[in-house]
Structure 1
Amino acid sequence: MDSAQTGPKLIGRAANGLPLVIGHRGASAYFPEHTLAAYQKAIELGADVIEPDLVSTKDGVLVARHENEIGGTTNVASKPEFAARKTTKLIDGQPVTGWFTEDFSYAELKTLRARERIPANRPDNARYNDQFEIPSLDEVIALVKAHEQRSGQRIAIYPETKHPSYFQSIGLSLEEPLVKTLHAAGYHGKQAPVFIQSFEVANLKKLRGMTDLPLVQLIDNPKNTPANGMPRNVPWDFYLARDARTYADLTTAEGLREIARYADAVGPYKEIIIPRTADNHMGTPSSFVRDAHAAGLGVHIWTLRPENPFLPLEFRQGDAASLSQRGDIVAEVMAYLRAGVDGVFSDDPGLLRSAVQKFAAQRD
C-alpha cells in the first residue's frame, strides 16, 4: 500500500482512491493543445481532469493558452491586419517577441485559429492547424458541464494562472475573474472538482483569501539555469519581492510545511520525485512524496509525454533518437505511481489511464 493511503485523506486523488489522470492541456498528444477538441479527446480517453492554462485578453476575458505570446500556437503571423502588433516584451524578466493576448480583444482573438506548438514531435497534429478556435474559460467549463449532464461522470478542471505578477502589473489581474467565473459556475468548497494552480506563491495566498477551492503550488525544476541574466529556478514573485528562496527551498520538508499553510497540493516537476541519472536513466526516488504527504499535501507531477525525447533512455522504443517516435510511457508512469504520487499530468491521458488501471490491478 502506498504512502498516500496510510494517513489522513488527502485532497487530490480520484473518488475511488486511485491517482488522478490529468489531461495536460487536454489530450495534446492527439490535437493541438488548449483546444476544445483536445479537452474533449482527453475526456474520451479517460481523464479525470482537464487543464486549461489561463491568460487574459485586453478586455479581461480569460482564455486557454500555454503562454500569452501566441505566435507559435496560432495563425496570427499570417494575419496582415495584426502584423503591427508584433512586439517584444519582458515576461518574467525574459525578452519575448511575438503577439500577446493582452493586446487583443476577445472578439479579435476569436478570429484566430490554433496551431500545433511542437510539430517536430507531433507532425500528425499539424493536420489540425487552423481548424480550432482559442477557447475561453467559460467555454471549457461549458464543455465539462455538457459532458457531465450527458454521462453523469464528474470531470474536474485544473486552471493555471500564467504569469500572474505580470498580468497584475498591466492591470489585468487573473485572480478576480477566475474566482468569479468558478463561483458563478457552481464550484465551491474543498471537494469541488477544481484545482487552481500557479508557479507563483503570492497569488495563491491571495486566492486563499478569495475562495475555499483547492489550491496547488507548482514547483519548477530547481536545476533550471539562468537565462539572459535572469533566474529561472525562482518563483517570479519571490524575485520581485527580493525573497532569496528558490524552488529548491520549496522542495524541503520545511518548505512543504510552509506550502501547506495556504495550498492543498503540490505540483512538482517529475524529476523532483525520481531524478534522472547522469546517463539519462531513472534514478532512485527522493523523499519528496513522503514529506509532502506528511505535511498533508497531495502530489501531482508534470509532465509525462509519450515521445522518445521526453522519456528516460530505458523506455525509448524504435529509433531512440526520433523526435516523434513514441516509447513506453506506461512503464514511466508506473514508476511514479509506485513512488506514491496522487496524480499525473500527461499529454496522453489514455495511456495514463491504462497505467493507473494496471497499477490498481497489481495493488489489489
Structure 2
Amino acid sequence: MSRPLPIFMLTFLFFVHHYVGQAALASEAVSLGPRPLFLVDDMDAGDLKEKLLQCKAGPSKVSDFSIAHRGASLQFPEHTKEGYLAAARMGAGIIECDATFTKDKALVCRHSQCDLHLTTDILSRPELAAKCSVPFTPADGSSTKASAKCCTSDLTLAEFKSLKGKMDGANDEAKTIPEYVKGTADWRTDLYAAKGTLMTHQESIALIDSLGLKFIPELKSADVSMPYDGNFTQQEYAKSLIADYKAAGIDPKRVFPQSFNLDDVLYWIENEPEFGAQATFLDSRYRGNALNPDDPNTFSPSMQDLADKGLRYIAPPIWMLLALDDNGKIVPSAYAKEARKAGLNIIAWSLERSGSLTNGGGWYYRSVTDAINNEGDVMTVLDVLAKDVGAVGVFSDWPATTTYYANCMGID
C-alpha cells in the first residue's frame, strides 16, 4: 500500500497544478489568425517587414505587452464574455473591464455608464427600454437625428444581466428602433454578435483569473450626480473597484487600476498602496487643447510632478506619443520623452480602433497622418511605440496584432 503524501507536498502540488496549469491554458490557447500577416504583407519593404515575416511560423504565446481594449472589440461585442475569451485566445496578457455601476450600485463592465442603447439590445426590450433616461426618438428626415440614452444606473443588476451585448453603434437616420440598432461600422462585423454575454466586474475577475491573465479595470466617469443615491461618493466608487479584487483574493501585482480622473488614481496610491503601485493615469489633457504633446510647458502637472505624487504609469492616446521628424519619419513626441525622463511607464491606446489606414488613419494617428497610408503602418507604429517610445503595453481592439509583434520581438 502506498503511503499518503505529506500535507506540505500536497499543498506544493496544488500550487504547481494551479499556476502552471493556468499558464499552460493561456499559452496553449493562443491563436493569432490571418490578420497580423495581412498587415505585415501590406507593409512597405524594409528591415522591419523582413523581421516580422520571419516570425510567421510562430510560436505564439501570451504577452503582457498585448492589452485587450474592451475585449476583442474590433469584431466581438465589447465587454462580453465572448470578447474576453477571444482576446485571451489572441494572446492578450492583460484584459480590460471598464467598470461603471447599476441602480443598485453593482459594478458592471461597460465603456460608459450611458451606452446601453448603443451596445446592448435594451431598446428591443420594451419593459426595459421604458426605464431609459431618454427614450428613443426617431429621426425626422431633416435636422433631428435619431437618439436615445440608456444607462446602467437606470437598471438593477438583475435587469442589466438580462440584456445581450451587440456591436457598438447606432443609425442616427433611423425612423424605427430596428433601424436604429443596426449601426455597426462597415469595417466591423456582426458575425460574432449572436450571444453577447454581459459581464459584471466580479464575473470578469473570475473569468480573467481562470485564464491566468492580468487585469486593467477602468473606473468610468459617472453620468449621474455624485454622490449617487445620497451616499455613494466618488471615493466609495473607487474603493469598491479595489474591494472586488480583494474579495477574490487577487494578487495586487496582477491589477492595473486606471482612471481618467487623476484624483481616483491618487486615492488608490494613498489609500490602497498595494494596488496603487500600478495605478494608471489615463491622460485626457489634450481635450480643449489644454496640453500640447510637443510643448512640455503645457504639461500641468508636469511629468515629474506626477512622478513625485507616486504615479508610476501613464496612458495617453497613441497620437500623443508620436511626432514626425524633418524627414517625415515617425519618432517619439516631446510628451513621450518627458514621461520617460520622469521614470513613468507608458501604456498607449488604442491600436486597431480605426477603420482603414489608407487615408491617414483618423484620430488615433492625427500627429503622424502624413506618414500613414496603408494598413501595414499599424506595425510601423507598434515598432516605434515599443522600441523608441518605450511603451510597456499597448491597448488593442484586436490583440492578435499586438501579440504577433510582441512575440516576434521577444517581448513578454
Which residue does the alignment assign to 2:385?
Answer: 336
Match of 2:185 among 111, 120, 143: 120
Which residue is equivalent to 2:267?
Answer: 206
Q: Is residue 2:341 matched to residue 1:290?
A: no
TM normalised by structure 2 equals 0.65
Contact (CA 8 Å) 2:75, 2:192: kept in 1 or not? Answer: no
Residue 183 (structure 1) aligned with residue 246 (structure 2): yes
Equivalent of residue 267 in structure 1, options 293, 310, 315:
315
Task: State the match for 1:145 in structure 2.
Answer: 209
262-271 or 166-175, larger mean C-alpha shift: 166-175
1:313 offset after TM fit, Å? 6.1
Task: Give structure 1 stretches of 5+ with no counterpart.
Answer: 1-17, 90-95, 149-154, 226-232, 235-244, 318-325
Write the distance in 2 (CA, Å) between the matches of 1:182 and 1:250. Answer: 38
Q: CA deviation at 1:246?
A: 9.7
CA offsets, 1:42-79, max 9 Å, x none?
11111110011111011111111111111100011111
CA contact (8 A) 2:330 2:371 kept: no
- Does the CA contact (< 8 Å) of 1:27 and 1:38 recur in 2? yes
1:1-364 map, 5 Å = 20-69=65-114, 70-88=116-134, 97-118=148-169, 119-124=184-189, 126-129=190-193, 131-148=195-212, 155-164=213-222, 166=224, 168-171=226-229, 172=232, 173=234, 174-189=237-252, 192-211=253-272, 212-213=274-275, 214-220=278-284, 222=286, 224-225=287-288, 252=299, 255-260=302-307, 261-275=309-323, 283-305=330-352, 307-309=355-357, 310=361, 312=369, 314-317=371-374, 328-339=377-388, 340-360=390-410
For the residues of structure 2 that align with 1:19 and 1:43, how far apart are their CA atoms? Answer: 11
Q: In 2 relative to 1, CA 329–246 (structure 1 residues): closer, same or farther, beyond 3 Å?
A: closer
Residues of 1 paired with 2:356 and 2:98: CA distance?
Answer: 25
* C-alpha deviation, 1:159, in angstroms: 0.4
Q: Which amino acid aligns with 1:44?
A: R
Supply the AA of the counterpart residue of 1:131: K
Mapped partners of 1:76, 1:347: distance in 2: 24
Cα distance in structure 1, aligned partners of 2:281 and 2:297: 9
Deviation at 1:130, TM superposition (A): 5.3
State how far apart, in whole Å, the 1-side matches of 2:162 and 2:301 are: 48
* Alpha-carbon spacing, 1:85–1:327, altered in 2? closer, same or farther (3 Å): farther
Alignment RMSD = 3.1
After superposing on structure 2, the runs of 4+ consecutive aligned residues of structure 1 that deviate more than 4 Å are 164-167, 245-251, 311-316
Q: Give unpaired runs (5+ residues) of structure 2.
A: 1-62, 136-146, 170-183
* Residues 253, 292 of structure 1: 8 Å contact kept: no
Cα shift at 1:33: 1.0
User: Which of 127-136 and 69-78 deviates more?
Assistant: 127-136
Cα deviation digits, residues 326-360 of structure 1 (max 9, x gap): 65422221122122211111111111111223334
- 2:119 match: secondary structure: coil
For this pair of structures, how many residues does the alignment match?
301
CA contact (8 A) 2:74 2:188 kept: no
> How far has the Cα of 1:297 moved from its partner?
1.4
